[in-house]
Structure 1
Amino acid sequence: MSDLVFDAVSVRYGGRRGLTAVDHVGLTVPSGQVVGLVGESGSGKSTLARAAVGLSPVTAGRVLLGGVDVRKLPRRPPLQMVFQDPYSSLDPRMSIGESITEAIPRGVLPGRAARRDEVARLLELVNLDPDRAGHLPGQLSGGQRQRVALARALAGRPEVLIADEITSALDVSVQGAVLNLVRSVQRRLGLSMLFISHNLAVIRYLSDIVAVMYLGRIVEVGPAEQVLTDPQHPYTRDLLAAAPSAHTSLLDTGADEPTADVEPADPHHPPAGCRYHTRCPVGPLVRADRGLCLQADPTEDAAQRRHSAACHFSENESHKLAIPRGASAP
């Protein structure tokens, strides 16, 4: 198994005057571990995932698997992705058995019987009856289709699996079953996984490491329990405060902090200095003495701070959180 490393990766659309969706991102998915990537819509999470599998152009930097640039790996690299929408990720004219067979690397299983047995094994692995192999996607529910998409990704014999919001299009009643399946398969096969979600309860349930993304950059990363109980970046704290739970939120600071109730900055023209300063509840909007946030980019020396937090004042503002011990996936 190998680490998946995003080495100063940038993804830009539309030339110099276009949009930088991912900006100089450094992130490591350690071998055999799950990294949960969280952030609001438009933060660049899915673009980063698509860059890893070659579906978005890497404008700068490299994506490395085992120290090798993924662009130099074979046509079917040991890196597979499960997409958000199970209704569009499968060919409606192909049976699910044909879709899974198509993903099996050439030469690995010669002979129809061997490939048929492998399809049956993979369907059983994702808790589907092998008799479903002859069915079309339109004959399956959303949860069943997402299981087929997972089986298809596993057919490629990946070392790393990328899951992009794979439960967001599913009914709440089946989300938990799919998440339990993903966790079981990851542990059984020892896969490395980048799991993308905007749902913090899901991220906590699955992840060993949590990375928080805002406006194209990673603003905090660290062990899951540490990030979720002692967040260093104000954006992470705001995400936790907004997350619903049995106790209204995952965040309990014991104090009322003012929150900048404004829209995110324009990603085409991100602000100078700290990109979060236009919304930050502890930044220059509410603290006149923190003009540094308007001028200096905190990502430049983030590695020196706890959780690599991209915040000049992270050590001054971190809070202990009370997260219910019984919190679990939906």
Structure 2
Amino acid sequence: MSELRFDGLSVKYGGLTAVDQVSLTVPSGSVVGLVGESGSGKSTLARAAVGLAPVSEGKVLLDGVDVSRSGRGRRPIQMVFQDPYASLDPRMTIGESIAEAMPRGLFRGSARGQEVARLLELVNLDPDRSAVLPGQLSGGQRQRIALARALAGQPEVVIADEITSALDVSVQGAVLNLVRDVQTRLGLTMLFISHNLAVVRYISDYIAVMYLGRIVEIGTVDGLLADPLHPYTRELLDAAPSRRSALLAAEPPAVADSEPADPHQPPAGCRFHPRCPIGPLVHPDRTVCVTDDPALGTSDRQHHAACHFAPALAAGAIQISSQE
């Protein structure tokens, strides 16, 4: 497998910058979980990686090679989409859908059918079902087919975009177990996108947190969840009931219920400052949050946290609560 790296990547649609100067590395053979609210730019980043969104600036690199220069042959990055009902052609059997994704000329004749059977077994489906149409399958089964179809392209990297959010709770766990098992067995490099921190914690080696088009914190799963250093990350963790008592003081953040800023007109300075529980709305003297971009100093901070007060949070000098 290969290392996936986003190098200063930006995606713009007219006056909207959906992804803004994102630099993120997915180490070879590892899983990076990407979390953030709806509209934070997670799916746009994923779509840019597979050529479905325009790259305005920066590059997507596989082992240092720009994927835009890889030609029109095998696609080294494959994506599993959120909606299992829209990701498969309803007129094609599942066997035909999987075979269509195979690199041209690699499998011929009976070898093609054997590879389809192998991939169906890999995702825990009976190979005899290759002649079935997608309409005869459940959502969980369709998502398994979508994963098999992605693997049929023999990718170096797989991107999974909210692949359990459209499924019933009763089948989400089974799909996650399958993804984790397949990733481990094949040593896949994977970017796993979700708004659910519990899901990301279960499947990932690293977590990256995205807000208004930018990465605001990244670290190992254990390190970031045990000691989050960006107020937005702590807000996301506070939304998970099982984490509330361990991560925050008894009283909730003062502005946790504020709406995100308009992505067409992101705030100056720190983009999170209009709703930050340790920012100028709560502490008017902290004007640095309004005037200076914290992204400029991330390389010197633990977890590369895009927060001016991350060192103070790390040292315990600042507590996130309605009263300090």
Tell me how far apart the structure 2 counterparts of residues 240 and 191 of structure 1 sit (CA, whole Å): 27
Residue 104 of structure 1 and its aligned partner are, at CA, apart by: 0.5
Among 286, 293, 306, the alignment partner of 1:290 is 286
1:96 matched residue in structure 2: 94
Superposed, which structure 2 residues align to 1:33-52 within 5 Å? 33-52=30-49
Partner of 2:321: none
The one-character-per-residue Cα deviations of 1:193-224 (angstroms, maximum 9, x if unpaired) are 00000000000001101000000000000111
Query: Structure 2: how far apart are the matches of 1:253 and 1:244?
Result: 11
TM-score (ref. length: structure 2): 0.95
What corresponds to 2:249 in structure 1? 254
Match of 1:299 among 295, 302, 314: 295
Counterpart of 2:209 in structure 1 is: 212
Match of 2:221 in 1: 224
Paired letter, 2:68:
R
Q: In structure 2, what is the Cα distance between the partners aligned to 1:167 and 1:293?
A: 36
Contact kept in structure 2, 1:90 and 1:137, CA below 8 Å: yes
Q: In the alignment, which residue of structure 2 is the partner of 1:327?
A: none
Instruction: Write the deviation string for residues 216-263 of structure 1: whole angstroms up to 9, x where unpaired.
Output: 000000111111110000000000001133x7x374333425321321
Query: Is structure 2 residue 124 aligned with structure 1 residue 117?
Result: no
Structure 2 CA distance for partners of 1:69 and 1:250, relative to 1, 3 Å? farther
- State the TM-score, normalized to the length of structure 1: 0.93
Write the distance in 2 (CA, Å) between the matches of 1:253 and 1:266.
Answer: 27
Which residue of the partner structure matches residue 275 of structure 1? 271
- AA of the residue aligned to 1:203: V
Contact 1:231 1:319 in 2 (8 A): no
Q: Is the 8 A contact 1:253 1:319 kept in 2?
A: no
* Equivalent position of 2:6 in the other structure: 6
1:169 counterpart = 2:200 = no
How far apart, CA to CA, are the structure 2 residues paired with 1:193 and 1:187? 11
Please report how far the alpha carbon of residue 159 of structure 1 lies from its aligned counterpart in structure 2 after TM superposition.
1.0
Whether 1:315 and 2:311 are equivalent positions in the alignment is yes
Q: For 1:253 and 1:167, how far apart are their aligned partners in 2?
A: 28
Residue-by-residue CA offset, 1:121-167 (whole Å, 9 max, x unaligned):
00000000001100000000000000000000000001100000000
Per the alignment, residue 319 of structure 2 pairs with none
Match of 1:24 among 12, 17, 21: 21
Q: How far is the alpha carbon of 1:78 from its aligned partner?
A: 1.4
Amino acid at match of 1:6: F
The one-letter amino acid paired with 2:181 is S
Q: Provide, for residues 159-208 of structure 1, a one-character-per-residue CA deviation record: whole Å limited to 9, x for no partner.
A: 10000000000000000000000000000000000000000000000110
1:86 has 2:81 as partner: no
Q: Secondary structure at the match of 2:303?
A: helix
Aligned to 1:218, the other structure's residue is in SS state strand
Residue 326 (structure 1) aligns with: none
Cα distance in 1 for partners of 2:32, 2:205 equals: 6
Letter in 1 for 2:67: V
What amino acid is aligned across from residue 10 of structure 2 in structure 1? S
Q: Is the 8 A contact 2:234 2:247 kept in 1?
A: no
State the match for 2:182 in structure 1: 185
Gaps of 5+ in 1: 321-330
**Hey, what does 2:54 align to over in structure 1?**
57
Q: Is the 8 A contact 2:237 2:247 kept in 1?
A: no
1:27 partner SS: strand
SS for the counterpart of 1:266 is: coil
Aligned-partner Cα distance in 2 for 1:250–1:185: 34
Equivalent of 1:131, from 121, 128, 131? 128
TM superposition shift of 1:319: 8.3
